[in-house]
Amino acid sequence: MKLRPDARYAKSHEWAAKDGDEFVVGITDYAQDSLSDIVYIELPSVGDTLEKSEMFGVVESVKTASDVYMPVGGEVVAVNDALEDTPELVNQDPYGEGWLMRIKPSDPAEFDELLDGAGYEAAVAEEEG
């Protein structure tokens, strides 16, 4: 399982990384691997404001569909339009080209409440238990 060194993680398998005064959000390498081949991604609209832990979209794979949740609350300022035609980017590069959206956080301190890499690995190990 790969991790992004500058990211923080939610137990629901989303990540957030700071980029200036915004956060880039996606699903983890573990999540994309568990889902298998991703075929469709439903994302929120630019301008939507969502709370931490609120569902913001759906990732569908050949195996299942999975809801995705906000790791931190805020306003959606961009979505990765490339995923409309090439959702497999999430499988290929979940921490890079496969990012889902950018948000302007309503409370940047929520980022510090997320798990660091070691905490996320422990949560995954417990889940697989």
Q: Which pLDDT tens digit goes with each residue over 82-109?
A: 999 999 999 999 999 999 999 999 999 9
Q: How far apart are CA 102 and CA 3, in angstroms?
A: 19
State the maximum Cα–Cα separation within the chain, in Å, rounded to a whole number: 39
**Could you tell me the pTM of the whole model?**
0.96
Assign domain 7-105 one CATH number from 3.40.50.300, 2.40.50.100, 2.40.128.720, 2.40.50.140. Answer: 2.40.50.100
- In the prediction, which pLDDT does 121 show? 97
Q: Contact 27/101 with Cβ under 8 angstroms?
A: no
**DSSP string across 50-105:** E-TT-EEEEEEESS-EEEEE-SS-EEEEEE-THHHH-TTHHHH-TTTTT--EEEEE
Domain boundaries, the chain: 7-105
What string of pLDDT tens digits covers the 129 residues of the chain?
999 999 999 999 999 999 999 999 999 999 999 999 999 999 999 999 999 999 999 999 999 999 999 999 999 999 999 999 999 999 999 999 999 999 999 999 999 999 999 999 999 999 998
